[in-house]
């Protein structure tokens, strides 16, 4: 009898403190059979457990083009994330997944891509950003890649070293911003909320372009509105939702928006799909 609720065990091989209260884990499966049979696609998520505290839902923050290990990135907010944050390198966690649908990379061939994220919402985008950068490197399948990322303050930016790496890349436009008051003396990015900077400073051309947005629901809403004013159509806008989940298997009844279960039918949705749902997310 196979138990869908039983996680596989993973070792934390590396911990990175990304920002205050935010950590990245590098994870490797302890069982070699599980490791060799595991695969995922960008956009998918998992249930990560700290034994004794329970499970939390995070996206897989690394790219499937870099299969050496998987990564997750989380903020310490509740019981489980605090227990996870208290673990050290070499410790064991549980993982169930991958679950959910994926970013539609095949639909994006030949197109320019703009990734737009806020705060702790960069991890899901970071998976698909590296996925697209690596695939473009291989066969040039995507056009120009832009990244618009903001956080409350400079210290709250996650993946700071990778933001610099993307900034240095010739065929990537990196637009970084912090909320007013969150800047430091040597801050060289924008100051302002992500949707505002996107619309008034960056002003992307919608022609042959897809915008991939991730952030809290209010940011998704304002960013979609800004994109529409810039001339983007709903089918050019994609997002990933982070509804509360327990099972990830379409059974526990928590993540649904109407009859759409985010864990099974999502987490990736186009703006067209979201507009057709009851507005409750």
Partner 1 sequence: MKTATLNKSDLGKCIDLLVQADLRVIAPRLQPRLDEDGPDAIDVLTFTEVDSGEGHQVGEGLLPLNGVKEFLFAKHEPLFAYEKRGKKIEIIPVHHEYPQTVIIGVRPCDAASIASLESVFSDANAGFEDPFFTERRSRTTFITYSCTAPDASCFCTSVNLSPDSAKGSDLHLTEIGDGRLHVEVISKAGEAVAKQLQDLLEGEGDQAAREKAGAEVSEKLTRIRDSAPIMDWLMDTANFDDEMWQRLGEKCIGCGACTFACPTCHCFDIVDENKGSKGYRVKFWDSCQFDHFTLHASGHNPRDWQYKRYRNRFNCKFKIYPEKFETPGCVGCGRCIRACPVNLDITEYMAEVAHKAANPSAMKADQDSE
One of 9, 135, 154, 191 touching partner 1 (CB under 8 A): 9
Q: Does 35 bind partner 1 (CB under 8 A)?
A: no
- Going from the C-alpha of 233 to that of each of 20, 108, 227, 267, the distances in angstroms are 37, 15, 8, 20
DSSP string, 123-137: HHHHHHHHHHHHHHH
Closest-CA residue to 111 (of 158, 134, 143):
143
Among all chains, which residue has been given the structure tokens 């703006």?
271
- Interface with partner 1 (CB under 8 A), residue total 50
Work out whether 244 is an interface residue with partner 1 (CB under 8 A).
yes
Any contact of residue 168 with partner 1 (CB under 8 A)? no
Part of the chain binding partner 1 (CB under 8 A), chosen from 48-56, 203-211, 221-229, 266-274: 48-56
Q: What phi, psi does 179 have (nearest 5°)?
A: -65, 150
In the complex, what is the shortest distance from the CB of residue 256 to partner 1, in angstroms, rounded to a whole number? 7
Burial track 252-262 (b if 16+ CB lie within 10 A, e otherwise): eeebbbeebbb
Select from 84-92, 106-114, 173-181, 187-195 the region that touches partner 1 (CB under 8 A).
84-92
Binding test (CB under 8 A) with partner 1, winner from 16, 21, 35, 54: 54
Q: Which of 27, 147, 257, 271 binds partner 1 (CB under 8 A)?
A: 257
Identify which of residues 210 and 262 has a Cβ nearer to partner 1 in the complex: 262
Verify binding: residue 29, partner 1, rule CB under 8 A.
Answer: no
Contact in structure between 263 and 248 (CB atoms under 8 Å):
yes
Among 75, 176, 190, 196, binds partner 1 (CB under 8 A): 75
Q: Which residue has the tokens 């935010």?
A: 22
Task: Give min distance, CB of 91 to partner 1, in A.
Answer: 5
Q: What is the C-alpha to C-alpha distance for residues 121 and 87, in angstroms, rounded to an integer?
A: 22
Contact 190, 201 (CB under 8 A): yes
Q: Which residues bind partner 1 (CB under 8 A)?
A: 1-7, 9, 11, 49, 51-55, 75, 77-78, 81, 90-92, 94, 216-218, 242-244, 246-247, 249-259, 261, 264, 276-281
């Amino acid at each position: 009898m196979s138990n869908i609720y039983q996680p596989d065990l993973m070792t934390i091989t590396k911990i990175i403190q990304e920002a205050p209260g935010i950590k990245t884990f590098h994870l490797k499966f302890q069982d070699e059979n599980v490791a060799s049979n595991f695969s995922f696609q960008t956009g998918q998520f998992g249930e990560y457990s700290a034994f004794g505290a329970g499970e939390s839902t995070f996206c897989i923050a690394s790219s499937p083009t870099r299969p050496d290990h998987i990564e997750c990135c989380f903020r310490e907010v509740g019981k489980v994330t605090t227990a996870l944050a208290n673990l050290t390198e070499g410790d064991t966690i549980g993982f169930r997944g991958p679950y959910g649908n994926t970013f539609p990379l095949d639909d994006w061939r030949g197109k320019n891509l703009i990734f737009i994220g806020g705060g702790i919402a960069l991890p899901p985008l970071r998976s698909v950003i590296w996925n697209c950068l690596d695939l473009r490197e291989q066969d040039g399948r995507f056009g120009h890649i832009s990244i618009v990322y903001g956080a409350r303050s400079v210290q709250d930016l996650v993946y700071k070293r990778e933001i610099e790496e993307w900034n240095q890349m010739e065929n990537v436009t990196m637009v970084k911003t912090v909320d007013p008051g969150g800047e430091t003396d040597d801050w060289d990015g924008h100051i302002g909320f992500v949707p505002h900077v996107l619309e008034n400073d960056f002003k992307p051309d919608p022609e042959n372009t897809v915008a991939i947005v991730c952030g809290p629901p209010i940011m998704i809403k304002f960013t979609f509105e800004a994109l529409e004013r810039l001339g983007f159509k709903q089918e050019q806008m994609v997002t990933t939702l982070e509804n509360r989940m327990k099972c990830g298997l379409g059974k526990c009844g928590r993540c649904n928006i109407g009859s759409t279960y985010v864990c099974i039918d999502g987490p990736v949705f186009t703006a067209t799909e979201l507009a057709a749902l009851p507005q409750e997310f």
